[in-house]
């Protein structure tokens, strides 16, 4: 039987949502350390995959896609843009290259890892990552 009483809908203050969002953003920023390590592992796998690099390109593309999406949600555009560039380069390389020598992938990987290293250094020193003006 259905209840005829209406559920109370109490408004949650916007500041509470902002606080929760900032907490989640902090968790995401902490997770970037493990993402940086995962990218380093994928780089090593790509270096070893001399003749059949397609599966590694596919893994790189998937990781970059997830990383870029999360970075966009948490308003870290530098990471989102570099992850998108890596995703696109890996997607193209998986189609075109059987070997591991795609310069666009290597360049995008290096740029993204360098940014994550810089962010990690700032976060380790207690500084908040300062985004570049886009």
Structure tokens at 32: 């970037």
Residue 132 banded pLDDT, cuts 50, 70, 90: very low
Q: Give the pTM.
A: 0.78
**Is 66 within the bounds of a domain?**
yes
**Is 8 within the bounds of a domain?**
no
**Is 110 within the bounds of a domain?**
yes
**Is 129 within the bounds of a domain?**
no
Q: For residue 123, report the phi and psi dihedrals to the nearest 5 degrees.
A: -70, -35
**Is 21 within the bounds of a domain?**
no
Residue 4 banded pLDDT, cuts 50, 70, 90: low
Sign of CA dihedral 33, 25, 77, 102: positive
Q: How do residues 69-85 score in pLDDT, each as one tens digit?
A: 999 999 999 999 999 99
Q: How do residues 41-67 score in pLDDT, each as one tens digit?
A: 999 999 999 888 999 999 999 999 999
């Amino acid at each position: 039987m259905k209840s005829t009483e209406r559920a109370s809908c109490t408004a949650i203050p916007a500041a509470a949502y902002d606080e929760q969002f900032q907490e989640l953003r902090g968790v995401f920023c902490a997770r970037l350390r493990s993402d940086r390590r995962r990218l380093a592992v994928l780089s090593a796998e790509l270096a070893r995959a001399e003749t059949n690099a397609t599966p590694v390109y596919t893994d790189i593309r998937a990781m970059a896609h997830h990383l870029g999406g999360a970075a966009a949600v948490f308003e870290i555009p530098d990471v989102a843009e570099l992850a998108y560039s890596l995703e696109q380069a890996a997607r193209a390389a998986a189609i075109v290259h059987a070997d591991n020598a795609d310069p666009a992938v290597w360049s995008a990987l290096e740029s993204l890892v360098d940014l994550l290293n810089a962010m990690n250094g700032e976060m380790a020193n207690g500084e908040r990552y300062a985004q570049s003006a886009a």
